[in-house]
Structure 1
Amino acid sequence: MIRRFGEPPEPGRHYHRRPGVYALLPRNGQFLLTCQYDPDPDIQLPGGGIDPGESPLPALHREVHEETGWSISTPQKFGIFRRFVYMPEYDLWAEKLCHIYVARPVQRIAPPREKNHEAIWTDASDAVSQLGNPGDRFFAAQLNRLKQHR
């Protein structure tokens, strides 16, 4: 069973399954996150949908680069969750299957290519409260706990 975060699905509403990949990017006690400004400011783990025919790891590299301008290395699967949401940018009700990876941010190559996104560095402990959705917050907290016990 895949853990669900957020609102339960509405009875009778059709949701499009939308698999995606998202990255926890720790470095020197901080996380590299993205702020999406449209429709409202929202702090998120960098990532997004897996395109048809695309594999998860290439999608992860592409999405992180598009939303932050950074390259990453050594992605490791960390978890998965789902959430049921309306995606206004696509006018779509979606069941998002969010595959979470931990990766190392290597180098800023360029500014974010994704419109209305900005890469931000946040103290790892602050990231948990700043992230906009409960699934992202849960996995950021899990990673923080693991790092404290090492």
Structure 2
Amino acid sequence: MRNRVAIGVLTALLAGGGALTLGPGAAASSADTGEAKNSVQVQAPGTCVYYSNFGNWCGYYSGTAEIGYGSPNHLAVKEIQSLINQKTYWIWTGHKRLKVDGQFGDNTRKAVKWFQSIARVKPYDGIVGKKTWGAFRASPL
């Protein structure tokens, strides 16, 4: 019975054009891609959730690679943009929400520098490295 329910939910999700993303909770993460593997948690991309054993995750990227202006890692950039939009005060400071397009341009760099300054992650250079990823993943501000 349990398997039929799970298959029914997945079929309905995929038939309706939904995307299926596995969460990082029970996953082993590939260091190169940051993609979660073998996880039992399901979440729609762009919906940020806090996992006690991982931290904040928006469904795009779970790695810690250094990401900066012009980065070709579109999934990591989407994760950064979603985290800034949904887990910080960026839009409450008079800024528009970042477009979650995977492009690390001027607006994303400004938002990352702002985040680094309020989270006290030095240097405030707009590059997302291990310290900045750690601050993004930490409990909400």
Give the TM-score band, short-chain normalised: under 0.3
Larger-Rg structure: 2
TM-score of the two chains, using structure 2 as the length reference: 0.27
Higher RCO, Cα 8 Å, sep 6+:
1
Structure with the bigger percentage of helix: 2
